[in-house]
Amino acid sequence: MFERPLMPEAKLPVTLITGFLGSGKTTLLNEILKQFPHGRVAVLVNEFGDINIDSQLLIAVDEDVIELTNGCICCTINNNLSEAVFRILAHRDRIDSLIVETTGIADPLPIATTFLATELWNFTRVDAILTVVDAEAFTPEHFGSEIAYRQIAYSDMILLNKTDLVTETTLEALEQYLHTIKPNPRIVRMSYGQVPLPLILDIKLHDSDFCTAPASDQQKTIPQTLNEGYMAVSFESDRPVSLRKFQQFLDYQLPQEVFRGKGILRIEDSPDRHLFQLSGKRISLDSDEWHTPPKTQLVWIGRNLNPLNLQQLLTNCLGTAS
């Protein structure tokens, strides 16, 4: 695709945003898209639905690349990160920064290694690995996940999110614990994903030597997410959901192994489109207008889930109207 290597100063800076399920990565990404001057930023996500951008902002679709009216470019990662990056590099003349949002159960090491140990090294540089931590939900066990530990250990900066939901004593205790995982960590406190862009973008924090792990370690990291038993269960239906039944499901039937839920609800007797989010024990339900035929679409992320049982429980939440 590219005939000659770019000079080092012309390499596209790449920021990796990582963090455990429900920590606030997408909220941070939305804030970045709002603040970035003149839209000269590109983002890679696993699905466009993760970006809470109103559909009227989408003006073009070309080979999985979406352009927003504010000038930003969004592209899906699908199954091949390198291919997605090269699709972004095709627009290099109009972007100054690339942001990659990982899944909540991703190890950042093999992702960073993709930029350091492949042809992408000629065209990009990893500027920083930002790890978002939920100040309210995080505990030393954090759902018993080694992935959460590695996200912190390989971070260049820790963004302590949702600080408005906890006390100063809790924040100080959490920061002390983070020091036990990573010596002298850079920690920035924030709420609602709001942080000044000069504090997190093009800051040249990443040390490539630190990220280059032994080959044996790299071989272990990629399948580790699967070994921990995490999975996503999808559910969709054209029939509306009974709000009463859905609330009962959340209160009494939701498996404890579910850590994250998100999606769109078509609710009985409501003309609105309802955006559903579940993170730990927190639930939010916002409304806006439909821009597509009304349909319920939900994704649940957790450990060792029973997909058939979960889908049946959700089917029981449907109303009678078609």
pLDDT band at 51 (very low <50, low <70, confident <90, very high): low
CATH superfamily, region 11-226: P-loop containing nucleotide triphosphate hydrolases (3.40.50.300)
Annotated domain spans of the chain: 11-226, 230-315
**Which of the pair, 293 or 216, is modelled with greater confidence?**
293
Q: Which of 52-61, 157-166, 230-239, 300-309 has the highest mean pLDDT?
A: 157-166
Pick from 82, 84, 96, 95: nearest CA to 47 = 84
**% of the chain exceeding 70 in pLDDT:** 77
Percent with pLDDT over 90 in the chain? 35
Of residues 135 and 66, the one with the higher pLDDT is 135
**315: enclosing H helix or E strand:** helix 307-315
**pLDDT given at position 77:** 67
Torsion of CA 282, 235, 54, 280, to 10 degrees: 10
Residue 221 has pLDDT above 90, yes or no: no
- Beta-bridge partners for 5: none
| Confidence label for 211 from pLDDT (cuts 50, 70 and 90) | very low
Find which of 131-145, 174-188, 210-224 is predicted with most confidence, using mean pLDDT.
Answer: 174-188
> DSSP label at 216?
H
pLDDT one-digit tens code per residue, 146-200: 888 899 999 999 999 999 999 999 999 999 999 998 888 999 999 999 988 888 9
2: confidence class by pLDDT, cuts 50, 70, 90: very low
Calpha distance 63→71 (Å, rounded): 17
Output the six-digit token pair for 291.
């821009």
Residue in 135, 152, 147, 130 with CA at minimum distance from that of residue 31: 130
pLDDT of 127 strictly over 60: yes
User: pTM higher than 0.85 for the full model?
Assistant: no
Band of pLDDT at residue 269, cut at 50, 70 and 90:
very high
Segment of 52-56, 77-81, 148-152, 282-286 carrying the highest mean pLDDT: 148-152
**207 confidence band (pLDDT: 50, 70, 90):** low
Residue 218 contacts by C-beta under 8 Å, 6 or more apart in sequence? 109, 110, 113
- How confident is residue 212, by pLDDT bands cut at 50, 70 and 90? very low
Query: What does the alpha-carbon distance between residue 107 and residue 88 come to, in Å, rounded to a whole number?
Result: 22
Instruction: Say if domain 230-315 classifies as CATH 3.40.50.300.
Output: no
Selection from 119, 124, 122 nearest residue 12 by Cα:
124
pLDDT at 295: 92
Domains 11-226 and 230-315 are alike in CATH topology: no
Higher per-residue pLDDT: 209 or 304: 304
Write down the pLDDT at residue 321: 58
Give the model's confidence band at 228: pLDDT under 50 very low, under 70 low, under 90 confident, else very high: low
Average pLDDT over residues 205-217: 48
Say which range, 37-51, 75-89, 130-144, 211-225, has the weakest mean pLDDT: 211-225
Q: What angle do CA 85, 86, 91 make, to 5 degrees?
A: 95
Calculate the average pLDDT of the chain. 80
Could you report the per-residue pLDDT of 75-95, keeping only the tens digit for each?
666 567 888 888 888 888 888
